[in-house]
Amino acid sequence: MELRWFRSKFSPAVHLYRDGQDQYGEQMPEYRGRTELLKDDITNGSVSLRIRNVRPSDDGQYVCFFFQSSISYEDAILELQVAGIPHPQHM
């Protein structure tokens, strides 16, 4: 089984999970140390990707690709909108 989160079809992985393990060696450098795959419900077909320390550059489309065998796969597309929180000004 492989579960791959990526930004575009030809980009390296934002996060890759293969054969029961996270594969950080194939991860985009800008996401290293910031992603976590939440697998509590993986047996029910549900996973989530957590991105920590969100940056403006994280804004945009993400694709989750699930590959089980040579004939079984699914994908989902989501749009992440990053909004800034203004810091209070000190006078």
Q: How far apart are CA 74 and CA 62, in angstroms?
A: 14
Domains and CATH numbers, the chain: 2-80 (2.60.40.10)
pLDDT of residue 12: 92
pLDDT of residue 44: 84
Contact present, 75 and 62 (Cβ < 8 Å) = no
Tell me which residues of the chain have a pLDDT lower than 50: none
Rounded to two decimals, the pTM is 0.82
